[in-house]
Amino acid sequence: MGIKHVLLVFLIMLISTSLLAQVDFESDTPAPGNLRFTWIHGSVSAMANTDVRIQVHRYNEHTYMLRQNPATHWEAPFMYLLMGNQRAVLLDTGATEEAEYFPLRQVVDGVLQRWAYAQGVDMPELVVMPLGSDQSQNAGIGQFSDRPNTILVTPDADSRGSVLENELLDLGGRVLQVLPTPGLDSAAVSLYDAWAELLFTGNAFYPGRLVIRDFPAYRTSLQALVDLTASQSVSNIFGGRIEMTEHPGLDYRLRANYRPDERVLQLQTQHLESALLAVTLINGATDIRIMDDFILMHGVGRGARDWGYPVFIPEAFQNVNTR
């Protein structure tokens, strides 16, 4: 073997090392993902809870899912951390401000550091982006205010406009499509990740009580999501929280901080289709539609439908015996 060969091998090694650092997000086949596990779901006595404050799950190499412990806040929201070649984005920031109770920044930093080390790259820039204006999506954003190399995107058009180009969020190779999905929350957006074939709907669509505040807007939003799933493949829809039990149509009481037998988080495209159908049937009337995997409510408050009673609308007050 001559010196020429040695140099060639060295050159190939050099090229492949530099290639390692650049992930190709342009694949035709869906990125794999793993959901074979159970989310932490609180305990009989929250005071005696010994779970982690934030559960971290690696869905795939560049996609992490986080859940806040219900024993720190009953909303127990989900957060998502997606990495690309240039940037990472944190979708939603949890329901608790204090790092002492809910160390979101510390956990995100830990995940990013390990990821960067494993990929052989520097710490990426971080975009922190709540998908809506709900308290359970924005409370933890303050923890990132003095973090270096970080862009905070508050849930309004101006702030979002500063990081989006043509409604696209480019993480470097991994491009996320952003759709406004108002109806429950006027500031809500959803994100489609073509690489992992994931749709992140935040609090606009999740297995729980969907309280419609602006009916025409929500119908339009669901139609837009259904249209998107017609042209793009979606393997899972990830929302911002879980309020349903594994029993069809049965939800947990508001503020329940112990939820054994929770329904799984992920929804599929057929759920979007049935939601659109139910919304079409509601047609702007005051109504509660109980579906197996979510509950649509229009014209009533969030507490009008609660655990243990199939339907509740104020008219039902007239029933003489409630038990």
Partner 1 sequence: MKSINKRREALQTTAGIMLVASSLLVFDVAFSAFEDASLSFPLEGRAVGEFPDQWIHGSKSAMDNTDPAVQIHAYNDHTYILRENKAINYEGAFMYLFFGNGVAMLIDQGSTSSPALFPLREAVDEIILEWETRHNQSNIELIVANSHLHGDHYAAWNQFVDRPNTVMVGLTHEEMMAFWKIDNYPQQIVTYDLGGRELVVTGTPGHQGSELAIYDGWTDLLYTGDMFYRGRLYLDDWDAWVSSIRKLRSIADQNPVAHLVNNHIEMTREPGVDYPIGTTWQPNEPPMQMTLNMLDQAVEATYEIENPGIYHYDDFLIYNQVPWAYTTDP
Q: Which residues bind partner 1 (CB under 8 A)?
A: 44-49, 53, 69, 71-74, 96, 98, 100-102, 253-257, 301-304, 306-309, 312, 314, 317-323
Minimum distance from residue 83 beta carbon to partner 1 (Å): 29
For the sheet containing 198-202, what is the strand order? Answer: 168-170, 175-180, 189-193, 198-202, 236-239
Q: Do the beta carbons of residue 31 and residue 181 sit within 8 Å? A: no
Q: Could you identify the residue written with the tokens 């140099």?
A: 7
Whichever of 83 and 296 has its CB closer to partner 1, that residue is: 296
Minimum distance from residue 322 beta carbon to partner 1 (Å): 5
Q: 308: which 2 tokens?
A: 């243990």
Whichever of 157 and 311 has its CB closer to partner 1, that residue is: 311
Whichever of 121 and 254 has its CB closer to partner 1, that residue is: 254
Q: Do the beta carbons of residue 35 and residue 59 sit within 8 Å? A: yes
CA distance linking residue 71 with residue 35, whole number of Å: 23
Radius of gyration of the chain (CA): 22
Whichever of 117 and 307 has its CB closer to partner 1, that residue is: 307
CA distance linking residue 167 with residue 164, whole number of Å: 5
- Residues 203, 292, 41, 36, CA torsion sign: negative
Whichever of 125 and 312 has its CB closer to partner 1, that residue is: 312
Minimum distance from residue 141 beta carbon to partner 1 (Å): 18
Minimum distance from residue 208 beta carbon to partner 1 (Å): 13
Q: 159: which 2 tokens?
A: 């702030």
* Helix axes 269-282 and 215-231, enclosed angle (nearest 10): 150
Could you say which DSSP state residue 262 is in?
Answer: B
Minimum distance from residue 261 beta carbon to partner 1 (Å): 18
Minimum distance from residue 317 beta carbon to partner 1 (Å): 4
Whichever of 46 and 276 has its CB closer to partner 1, that residue is: 46
